[in-house]
Amino acid sequence: MAQRVFFINKLHPGVDPDDYEAWIRRVDYPIARAQGAILAYTVTRIDGTLSGEGSSPYSHLEVIDITNLDEYRALGAKPEFVQLLSEWSEFVAEALMVHGTVID
């Protein structure tokens, strides 16, 4: 069964979303998408709540289709991922990180 990882992110105060999204395109996507453990990876800017009332406490949603959780977790030891996560944390103040199995 397919496995998926989600990051629901809140940017640091004062971080320009355009700067974060440019970094995603320039750095994050190329490194992440080149990994064998990652089958697909997209980031979505959260524009608001579905009801239209109030605002979301989160700004971006990352959806990552993976081969399996152990292979994905092992990426964290790779030097390029250590650097990637260091840069990512300069933009992201808080992230809810969850994983699950896709229901076919």
Q: Can you give the pLDDT of all 104 residues of the chain as single tens digits?
A: 799 999 999 999 999 999 999 999 999 999 999 999 999 999 999 999 999 998 999 999 999 999 999 999 999 999 999 999 999 999 999 999 999 999 98
Candidates 61, 53, 69, 55; CA nearest to 101 is 69
User: What does the pLDDT read at residue 87?
Assistant: 98
User: What does the pLDDT read at residue 10?
Assistant: 98
Q: 3-101: what CATH class?
A: alpha beta
95 burial level (CB within 10 Å; 0-12, 13-18, 19+): middle
Q: What is the pTM of this model?
A: 0.93
